[in-house]
């Protein structure tokens, strides 16, 4: 963790385009458990190493041999870990250069913000293997871009290039690869300027509200606002605005 409370998780298997293996998923789960329990962590950034891939999917060699019990165990573990990533109280950024396929794209879909370089290639090509996505891809991509765009990715095996992902509203930021690091850092700084309690509650509202009725979600939204107004950060933000200065949020 850096001094400003940012944790950067790197998928570091460049010789395999950072393909997810069982040990990698286990390590990721351990890190996510630590992050969720640490109130000093403000933000999590996930990225791949090597420049050619974020995560190019699962390590398909682990699938070979019709080892049914092992396959099911891996898929259940992956779903649990991806759900933990989506449920983190802290904001999360998926910084995507190169391939983000299969489980790699599913993992990125669990993040709050996607920063995509021009080289980004996002896809769910499981049907090419005679399989279907199993880490949330069919449902999270559907909710993110709608039925028809999601069907093209999954049924026809097409990639979403970085610029197209941005046009569809999937990527929050699109940039040239030469500007990728500065684009990610710019978004990190923007997120760090916000009140952490407010961010946590807004994340919770978005996660819960999409499955609620509109009246129920609106009531939940107001309950959160009322609580935030009574926090030190809520009053600090109001005072700072009126005094024309930068707020000093303390997470209280």
CB neighbours of 240 closer than 8 A, spacing ≥ 6? 246, 247, 248
Token pair belonging to 95: 């910084």
Establish whether 163 is a catalytic residue: no
Active-site annotation holder among 62, 126, 221, 236: 126
Among 86, 106, 163, 221, the active-site one is 106
Per the document, the length of the chain is 252
- Here the tokens at position 26 are 């286990």
Pairing of strands 99-101, 53-55: parallel
In Å, what is the CA distance from 219 to each residue of 86, 197, 203, 222, 240? 23, 19, 16, 5, 28
Helix axes 68-87, 22-36, angle to 10 degrees: 30
Q: Which two tokens stand for residue 32?
A: 């996510």
How many Cα atoms occupy the beta-carbon half-sphere of 139 within 13 Å? 9
Q: From the DSSP assignment, how many helices (H) and strands (E) are in the chain?
A: 10, 9
Let me know if 126 is a catalytic residue: yes
Active-site residue list: 106, 126
């Amino acid at each position: 963790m850096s001094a400003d409370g940012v944790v950067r998780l790197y998928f570091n298997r460049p010789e395999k385009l950072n393909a997810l293996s069982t040990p990698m998923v286990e390590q990721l789960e351990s890190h996510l458990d630590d992050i969720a329990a640490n109130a000093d962590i403000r933000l999590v950034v996930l990225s791949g190493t090597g420049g050619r891939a974020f995560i190019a999917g699962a390590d398909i060699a682990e699938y070979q041999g019709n080892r049914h019990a092992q396959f099911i165990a891996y898929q259940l573990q992956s779903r649990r870990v991806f759900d933990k990533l989506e449920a983190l109280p802290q904001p999360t950024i998926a910084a995507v250069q190169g391939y983000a396929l299969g489980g790699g794209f599913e993992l990125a879909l669990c993040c709050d913000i996607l920063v995509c370089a021009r080289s980004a290639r996002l896809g769910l090509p499981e049907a090419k293997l005679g399989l279907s996505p199993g880490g949330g891809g069919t449902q999270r991509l559907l909710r993110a871009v709608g039925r028809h765009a999601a069907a093209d990715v999954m049924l026809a095996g097409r990639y979403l290039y970085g610029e197209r992902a941005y046009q569809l509203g999937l990527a929050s930021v699109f940039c040239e690869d030469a500007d990728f690091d500065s684009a990610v850092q710019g978004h990190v700084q923007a997120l760090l300027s916000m009140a952490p309690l407010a961010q946590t509650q807004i994340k919770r509202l978005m996660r819960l509200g999409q499955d609620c009725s509109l009246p129920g979600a609106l009531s939940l939204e107001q309950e959160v606002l009322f609580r935030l107004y009574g926090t030190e950060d809520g009053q600090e933000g109001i005072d700072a605005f009126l005094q024309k200065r930068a707020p000093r949020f303390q997470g209280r």
